[in-house]
Structure 1
Amino acid sequence: MYANQTVVRGDDLAEVIRAAEILGIGLKIENVMVPDEDGGFTAAWIVTREDEVPLYEEWEGRYEDLEDDEEQLAAVGD
């Protein structure tokens, strides 16, 4: 672990992501398995602070070029 990393449990991950968005901090999130109290393993995430804030595009829930892809698939099937 480095100074810019922390382990986050699944219940807290959404809040960490929201806080990073508000503060304008970039994050890299990696899924890992960590030992739990019962002697087994549980999923957790290593969150690393990034210098660059990722840019996300707004997604409306559909692909604009879907019709073109369907036409190409139909031409291949003929």
Structure 2
Amino acid sequence: MLAADTISILVMELVDNAVMAVVPGAMDAGLGDAIFWGSMVVALAAAFVAAFPVNRWLIDRGKGHALHHAHHGHDAHR
């Protein structure tokens, strides 16, 4: 089974890259181009929306990142 962080990051990256791929000109834009930043905002927002229920599902099943640290003696409340 993949680590909870890996699953969450995988979902975020898949959605982020898919959005960037479908926005015309986003993949060819440079850091100084508004299309790059606009599409990045949309892509990251969509990735958050997609990953949030995945993270809730993982936490509900005891697979969250903070829970992992709690089992290894790390202070999860820092």
**TM-score in terms of structure 2 length:** 0.26
Compare relative contact order (CA 8 Å, sep 6+) and give the higher one, 1 or 2: 2
Bigger radius of gyration among the two: 1
* Structure with greater strand percent: 1
